[in-house]
Each structure stands twice: as C-alpha cells, then as structure tokens.
C-alpha cells in the first residue's frame, strides 16, 4: 500500500489529540470533526483541517456514520482512525469505510462483530483453546438459567451479550435473587445496546482484572506487549491501571500472551486490540476482547518504548509489525474524571484554573484548557495521568506526587479517590482484587476528612477576621479559640513559613 496522506480522526478529547500528534510526527495530515459543544476544543485547533458535524449529542455528531464518512470524503482522507468509544467497535462504520475505499485503522468488520457479541466471542475463544470461566454461554430461558446456576455454583454473574462499560451486569449470590436479576439485566441490556441477550458465568472469587495488549498485521503476524492490571474499578469501570501485574509470573504471562494472539488469529484480526482476562488463584479465564485502542494504552507505551498509534498506522499501510522491545520499569495510569469523588456522579461546569504536574517520568494525556466547558453530552473523563518509574515503589511515589501537583478548579474530580487508592496499604502491597475500591471507599466513609476539617476551620477564621475579630474565632461548640489554633498544625506551618 502507498503511505497514508491524510487521516480523519473520528473522535474528540484527549484521544483525538493523541492520534493527531502521532500522525503529524509521521508527516500525515489530519482532519478533525467536531460537534456544537466542541467548537473550541483543542483537537479542532490542532488538526490541519476541521469539519463541523453539527449537534451536541453523540448521535447527532460523532456517532453519525453518514456525517463522519461524508467529512472524510469531502476532505480527501485515505484513512479513518476511530480512537476509542464512539465508532471504534462499530462494524457498520468499518464496513462503510471499506466500501468507500478508506482505510479503517482498526480490525476488519467481521472481527469487530465476532468479538462484540460476547456469546459468540466465548464460542470462538473456546474453539481457540482459550480458558473460559465456567457458565452457560447461550442466551437462555429461566429454567435453563436456574439449572446452570446450580451446576456452576453460586455466586454467579449475569452479563449482557452485546455489553460493555459495565452495563447489563448483575452479581447473584443465591437462587432467590437469580430471576429478578435476570430480568433487570435483560432490561438494562436492551436499553443500553438494543439487545436483551444475557449469559451466565461463575463469579470468580477475589478476581484480578488483567489484560493483554496485542497488535496484529495484515501478514498474519500477532504480538503482545505484556499485561496491564486493571482491578481498581468503580461500577465495572477502571480508575487506576498499572503494568506489569505483580501477581503474574513469567510463565503465566507467556501463556496469556499466546492465548490472546491465538484468539486474534482465529478471527483474522489486524491492528491494536486488548484481550481481557480474570485471574484468580494462579489461573486465568477469558473475559472479552476490546477491538480497539484501550484508554490505558499509555502505560504499555511507557514500559515498552513503543507508540501504539504509530503501529496502528503502520499496520494500516500494510507494513509488518516491528519487533517488540524488552519492557523496563513500572507504569501507572490514573483516569481523571469530572465527577463527585463520593458519589461518582458526573460534575459539570467550566474549568476556571488548573495546575499541571511535571517532572521525570510524568505524562498527562488530556485536552484540558482554561475556560473549557464540561458538558453532559460526553464521557466524564478529562484526561489520564501516566507515570513511569524504575520499579513499582518509585512509580507509586511518583504518581502520588503528580496527583498532589495536579489541580483542576471549576468541577469536582476523581483525584481524591485515586490518591486514597495509591496511599492504601492494600494497593501498595500489590495483593488486591476488583473489590479494592469498594473497600477503600467504605473505610474512607468512616474516617474524618482532614481536608474538610481544615477547610471548615479556615472558613471560620475568615469569617472572624471579616467581623473584626482578628485574634479569635468561635469554634463549633461556641468556645473561644485562637484563630491560628483553629487552622490546624499543617496550615499554621504554611502561613508562618519564610
């Protein structure tokens, strides 16, 4: 194939910037698309050309295949990069590109369809010799569901066949709650995906969520770039990821990598993809395959010294895969979400101020800028803080330091949750599972919030000063307390430091 000349980036936010930067380094022009809500977004300013799609809702803009493809044709693009989310796992979009003679920088439509259907994906994985969690693969009726749950043993999980993003998942502890959960899972699956099929799996105790990054070219080659630990999750969505996983031995890593590559070859896969596994008690089980670039791909890049977007583009041009370099050090990624750190509900508003971290081994992938409006139309993720260290201990310390440096004013963020997680003894020990965040949140709810106490004391001090009582402030109990004492030791030191 001739080298690609112009790529349309069918996405927004930090991933759009990520693709634009690599493409421009390769001498490839880029075309951005944008909605009404994203008129002033950074990806619009950084691309060579920008095309307005109209609307603010995803269905009116980034998910409208007709509009996106028309923009690609009108600007003379010979390739389309879908990023992640939106059209990245849409076989219709991939097929539309194929029909229009535009290279889709992702897997073929058939591979997307096969892996997007979780029931079909399990069938293919089983045939390829990839270990599966015991369960009932087929969509089923109530009688078969009850019988299968008894056979594999409680607790069990019900999962949407066309699912993703934590939608359509229910954990069932005993037979009494099975049928109610079954109907709730089906209803949620239908609402989220337009497909109410669900399947049943044995719920693995103390599971770790471990994934393998693969890349496949058009010449039948497939390679993997180690693994990522993604067990720190809220509502089945990842918050903190690290690489490597401290629980994986070299032998198991090779077995998982081989299984992931075998699965990719079984569906004629090309491009970047991730095969996700549950790992427990020395065994791993196939969970699903994400047929796109993952949000957490930067930690793999940091360890392996590879640009995965560049590899995607090279594969799209028909080139063979580059050799995989030996990994080094440890990497951690924290997703920075605009959300209430206590409820995880989205937080909307305008970015008034921000202070960004830096220093050795620190990378921030974001599309933040002062004055940016955080709207209800898109995912709450504002960016990704990525750090790399010589070992896990250094990576954790570096990440905590960078989290303290990162300040975003105007919306609430998930940064306090991430910092609590990295500070926890459970995370630092490396002996954790997918229930870690729930345990940390539960513990935090029972411990007084020191920052909140300091803020309340500072507020009382300011009120007293404005009232003319500069030397005393009233405590919550009505006792007279020196203003400096109400601030707490750390604030006193800060105010008196030279």
| pLDDT at site 168 | 83
User: Could you tell me what percent of the chain has a pLDDT over 90?
Assistant: 77
Catalytic (active-site) positions: 292
pLDDT of residue 446: 67
pLDDT for res 493: 39
| Per-residue model confidence (pLDDT) at position 43 | 98
Domain boundaries in the chain?
Answer: 6-105, 134-202, 208-445, 450-496
In this structure, what is the dihedral angle of CA atoms 316, 263, 238, 300, given to the nearest 10 degrees?
A: -50
pLDDT at residue 329, rounded to an integer: 98
Examine domains 6-105 and 208-445 and report if their fold is the same.
Answer: no
**Cα separation of 34 and 57, whole Å?**
11
Q: Which two tokens stand for residue 34?
A: 């944008």
SS3 sequence, the chain?
CCCCCEEEECCCHHHHHHHHHHHHHCCCEEEEEECHHHCCCHHHHHCCEEEECCCCCHHHCCCCHHHHHHHHHHCCCCEEECCCCCCCCCHHHHHHHHHHCCEECCCCHHHHHHHHCHHHHHHHHHHCCCCECCEECCCCCHHHHHHHHHHHCCCEEEEECCCCCCCCEEEECCHHHHHHHHHHHHHHHHHHHCCCCEEEEECCCCCEEEEEEEEECCCCCEEEEEEEEEEEEECCEEEEEEECCCCCCHHHHHHHHHHHHHHHHHCCCCEEEEEEEEEECCEEEEEEEECCCCCCHHHHHHHHCCCHHHHHHHHHCCCCCCCCCCCCCEEEEEEEECECCCCCCECCEECCEEECCCCCCEEEEECCCCCCEECCCCCCEEEEEEEEECCHHHHHHHHHHHHHHCEEECCCCCHHHHHHHHHCHHHHHCCCCCCHHHHHHHHHHCCCCHHHHHHHHHHHHHHHHHCCCCCEEECCCCCEEEHHHHCCHHHHHHHHCC
Out of 1.10.150.80, 3.40.50.20, 3.20.20.80, 3.30.200.20, which CATH number does the structure's domain 6-105 have?
3.40.50.20
Write out the CATH class of domain 134-202. Answer: alpha beta
In whole angstroms, give the CA distance from residue 270 to residue 262. Answer: 13
pTM greater than the 0.95 cutoff: no
CATH architecture for segment(s) 208-445: 2-Layer Sandwich (3.30)
Mean pLDDT, the chain, rounded, equals 89
Q: Which of 421, 423, 358, 354 is nearest to 382 (CA)?
A: 354
Q: pLDDT 10s digit of each residue in the chain, 498 long?
A: 789 999 999 999 999 999 999 999 999 999 999 999 999 999 999 999 999 999 999 999 999 999 999 999 999 999 999 999 999 999 999 999 999 999 999 999 999 999 998 889 999 999 999 999 888 776 668 888 999 999 989 999 998 888 766 778 899 999 999 999 999 999 998 888 888 888 898 888 889 999 999 999 999 999 999 999 999 998 888 999 999 999 999 999 999 999 999 999 999 999 999 999 999 989 999 999 999 999 999 999 999 999 999 999 999 999 999 999 999 999 999 999 999 998 999 999 999 999 999 999 999 999 999 999 999 999 999 999 999 999 999 999 999 999 999 999 999 999 999 999 999 999 999 999 999 999 998 888 765 555 555 555 555 555 556 555 444 443 443 333 333 333 343 333 333 333
Distances (CA, A) of 221 to 59, 203, 296, 304: 36, 34, 23, 19
- C-alpha span between 2 and 45 (Å, rounded): 28
- C-alpha dist (Å) from residue 383 to 10, 84, 128, 295, 317: 18, 13, 36, 10, 29
């Amino acid at each position: 194939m001739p080298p690609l000349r112009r790529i349309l980036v069918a996405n927004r936010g930090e991933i759009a910037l990520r693709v634009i930067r690599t493409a421009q380094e390769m001498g490839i022009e880029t075309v951005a698309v944008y909605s009404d809500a994203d008129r002033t977004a950074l990806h619009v300013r950084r691309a060579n050309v920008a095309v307005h799609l109209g609307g603010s809702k995803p269905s009116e803009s980034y998910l409208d295949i007709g509009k996106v493809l028309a923009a690609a044709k009108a600007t003379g693009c010979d390739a389309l990069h879908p990023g992640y989310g939106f059209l990245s796992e849409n076989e219709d979009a991939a097929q539309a590109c194929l029909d229009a003679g535009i290279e889709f920088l992702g897997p073929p439509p058939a591979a997307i369809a096969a892996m997007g259907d979780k029931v079909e994906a399990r069938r293919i994985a089983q045939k390829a010799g990839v270990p599966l969690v015991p369960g009932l693969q087929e969509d089923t009726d109530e009688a078969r569901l009850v019988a299968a749950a008894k056979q594999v043993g409680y607790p069990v999980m019900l999962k949407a066949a066309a699912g993703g993003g934590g939608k359509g998942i229910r954990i069932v502890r005993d037979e009494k709650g099975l049928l109610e959960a079954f109907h709730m899972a089906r209803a949620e699956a239908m609402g989220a995906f337009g497909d109410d099929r669900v399947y049943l799996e044995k719920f693995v105790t103390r599971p770790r969520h471990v994934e393998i990054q693969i890349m496949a070219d058009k010449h039948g080659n497939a390679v993997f770039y180690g693994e990522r630990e993604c067990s720190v999750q809220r509502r089945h969505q990842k918050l903190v990821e690290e690489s490597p996983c401290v629980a994986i031995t070299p032998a198991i890593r090779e077995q998982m990598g081989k299984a992931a590559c075998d699965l990719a070859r079984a569906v004629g896969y090309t491009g970047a993809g991730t095969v996700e596994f549950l790992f427990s008690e020395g065994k791993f089980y196939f969970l699903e395959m994400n047929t796109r670039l993952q949000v957490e791909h930067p930690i793999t890049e940091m360890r392996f010294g590879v640009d995965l977007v560049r590899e995607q583009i090279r594969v799209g041009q028909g080139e063979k895969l580059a050799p995989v370099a030996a990994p080094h050090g440890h990497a951690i990624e924290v997703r920075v979400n605009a959300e209430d750190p206590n409820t995880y509900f989205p937080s909307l508003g305008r970015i008034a101020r921000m202070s960004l971290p830096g220093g050795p081994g620190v990378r921030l992938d974001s599309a933040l800028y002062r004055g940016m409006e955080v709207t209800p139309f898109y995912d709450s993720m504002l960016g990704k803080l990525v750090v790399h260290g010589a070992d896990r201990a250094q990576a954790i310390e570096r990440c905590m330091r960078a989290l303290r440096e990162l300040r975003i004013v105007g919306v609430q963020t998930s940064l306090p949750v991430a910092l609590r997680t990295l500070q926890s003894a459970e995370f630092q020990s490396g002996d954790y599972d997918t229930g870690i965040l729930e345990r940390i949140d539960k513990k935090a709810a029972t411990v007084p919030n020191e920052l909140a106490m300091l803020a309340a004391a500072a507020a009382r001090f300011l009120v007293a000063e404005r009232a003319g009582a500069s030397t005393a402030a009233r405590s919550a109990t009505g006792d007279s307390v020196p203003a400096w004492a109400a601030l707490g030791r750390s604030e006193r030191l800060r105010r008196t430091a030279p």
